[in-house]
């Protein structure tokens, strides 16, 4: 069995809740997942001090990690920096590249930056798709293929908050590549569904910020991959016990097994 721990939308800055950050690090130590995947929005406004706090958090994680930026990881000002080098601070403090790949026994994860400095919502460039296809060729035949991106691919046709552009075609492209799981964040609303292509789409809530939405609590996901099934457990923060507790669970059959 492979275990993934999926975080998103930490939002270091004024909205960050340090006590939740401490709880998450303890949970990671207790669960010992095979990998921690963080699908963007490390900061609130991409300020240097916010990135410094985010880097300290990452350095405290003792298992392999894969990270990608979110739309909030681009500075609003100065405008010239946002247009020319929007991820210079992210690359300095978090990871040297905005796209990333991590392969281990049993899984192969590709992280793709889908953000743009001006346009809302998310999409991948042709170059990114070509790079993705090239990376897939490196995966072992028994490895489950996973994509992490920031904007929601399952978004119910709603335009706000903006989701991934032309999501249906993106899912068809991923299905042709044998992808079984897509991870994303952005909306601060956790969910898990299976697309008609058989791809399990898992969205994480905001794990450590006060910016919860629509009555949802702070949350993260634990994903357990077995030979024929994918289990998704949403763990939410409980104010009474002051801990993250199991709140919802989903189970999906692996369509290509």
Tokens representing residue 185 in the block: 């964040």
Q: What is the CATH number of domain 2-253?
A: 3.60.21.10
Task: Render the burial of 67-84: b for 16+ CB within 10 Å, e for the rest.
Answer: bbbbbbbbbeeeeebbee
User: pLDDT tens for residues 1-36?
Assistant: 899 999 999 999 999 999 999 999 999 999 999 999
Percentage, residues of the chain above pLDDT 90: 85
pLDDT of 111 higher than 80:
yes
Whole-number pLDDT of residue 120: 87
Q: Domain map of the chain by residue range?
A: 2-253
* Count of CB atoms situated within 10 Å of the CB of 228: 8
């Amino acid at each position: 069995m492979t275990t993934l721990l999926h975080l998103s939308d930490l939002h270091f800055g004024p909205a960050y809740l340090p006590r939740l950050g401490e709880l998450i690090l303890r949970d990671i130590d207790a669960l010992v997942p095979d990998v921690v995947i963080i699908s963007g929005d490390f900061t609130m406004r991409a300020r240097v001090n916010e990135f410094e706090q985010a880097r300290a958090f990452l350095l405290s994680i003792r298992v392999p990690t894969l990270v990608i930026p979110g739309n909030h990881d681009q500075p609003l000002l100065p405008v010239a920096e946002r247009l020319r080098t929007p991820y210079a601070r992210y690359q300095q403090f978090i990871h040297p590249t905005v796209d990333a790949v991590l392969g281990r026994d049993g899984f192969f994860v590709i992280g793709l930056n889908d953000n743009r400095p001006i346009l809302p919502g998310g999409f991948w460039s042709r170059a990114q798709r070509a790079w993705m296809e090239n990376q897939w060729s490196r995966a072992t035949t028994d490895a489950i293929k996973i994509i992490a991106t920031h904007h929601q691919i399952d978004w119910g046709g709603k335009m706000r908050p903006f989701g991934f552009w032309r999501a249906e075609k993106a899912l068809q492209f991923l299905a042709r590549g044998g992808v079984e799981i897509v991870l994303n964040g952005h909306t601060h609303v956790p969910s898990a569904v299976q697309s008609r292509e058989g791809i399990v789409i898992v969205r994480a809530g905001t794990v450590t910020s006060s910016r919860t939405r629509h009555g949802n609590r702070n949350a993260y996901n634990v994903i357990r991959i077995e030979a024929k099934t994918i289990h998704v457990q949403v763990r939410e923060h409980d104010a009474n016990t002051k801990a993250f507790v199991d709140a919802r669970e989903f189970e999906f059959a692996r369509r290509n097994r």
